Amino acid sequence: MKALSAIFILFVFTSSVFAGPDSLFVEIKGDTVKIWNTDVYINCCCSLRVDVSLESDSITIIQVDTAKNWCRCICPFDLFTSINGLTPGTYYVNVYRYLPLGDSTFVGSLSFTIQNVSIPVISYTSYQSNCKEAVEVQGLGQDVRNYVALYQNYPNPFNPNTTIHFELPEESHVTLKIYDMLGREVATLVNDVRKVGSYKVAFDGTKLPGGIYFYKLMSGGFAQTKRLILIK
């Protein structure tokens, strides 16, 4: 997988009218491709870093919030990743985001076509503006122990190892299983009685092909499923 240089810029807007779901689009000017992402971010103390990689015609963009502190406030922002030096052809982009509390999410995907030969990649810089008018959110970061909690695996996407975290408010029989896109069970990680507490379970996807999978936790009357992405 080839690493790309890119320009990553974050503009934080202070309007009290927040954007809806993530909006992902591309802008091509000359030899520069800008991949825009506009959405609402639930951490006004964010310190974002971007990792860009290229494999054949596939571009993976991973946004990582490296902030050590989580602030209980919301900031709407616009963000773009600028890439130079791609050869002519059609490219397919997937964007992911890692949060400081360990959660991760799939932001979206798009494709674009380069018509002309570009200059070589020469630089990578980043900029993040201040958040001047944050809106406080109550209840973030509190330690809740009175219900079953299933968290997003980390890292996600992963290759080939990741960790799944869940919490139990009472002793119960627990199953934690992995399924493929067709609903077929491909792995059983937990199938026994667990006491009250917090658990982190490792998953090794070495023997599985890359793609989208799902993990399902069942405990008593609780059942929840989340998505995980194996990259190879």
> What's the CATH code of the domain at 226?
2.60.40.1930
| Predicted TM-score (pTM) of this structure | 0.48
Question: Of 136, 163, 190, which residue sits at a domain end?
Answer: 136
Contact (CB, 8 A) for 131 and 14? yes
Which residues span the domain enclosing 224?
A: 149-230
Are residue 132 and residue 156 in the same domain, yes or no? no
Are residue 122 and residue 15 in the same domain, yes or no? yes
In the chain, the number of structural domains is 2
- Asked if residue 163 belongs to a domain, the reply is yes
- Residues in Cβ contact with 221 at an 8 Å cutoff, skipping those fewer than 6 apart: none
pLDDT 10s digits, 123-143: 334 444 455 344 444 433 444
- Asked if residue 144 belongs to a domain, the reply is no
Contact (CB, 8 A) for 228 and 202? no
Are residue 26 and residue 114 in the same domain, yes or no? yes
Instruction: Kindly list the averaged pLDDT for each block of 10 residues, start to end, along the chain of length 232.
Output: 47 33 70 72 71 86 77 67 83 81 73 70 43 43 60 89 89 93 90 89 93 90 86 86
DSSP classification of residue 140: T
Q: What is the reported pLDDT for 10?
A: 43
Question: Of 136, 162, 190, which residue sits at a domain end?
Answer: 136
Q: What is the reported pLDDT for 208?
A: 95
Nearest to 107 by CA among 130, 131, 87, 77: 77
Q: What is the reported pLDDT for 193?
A: 93
Q: What is the reported pLDDT for 207?
A: 93
d(CA 36, CA 29): 13
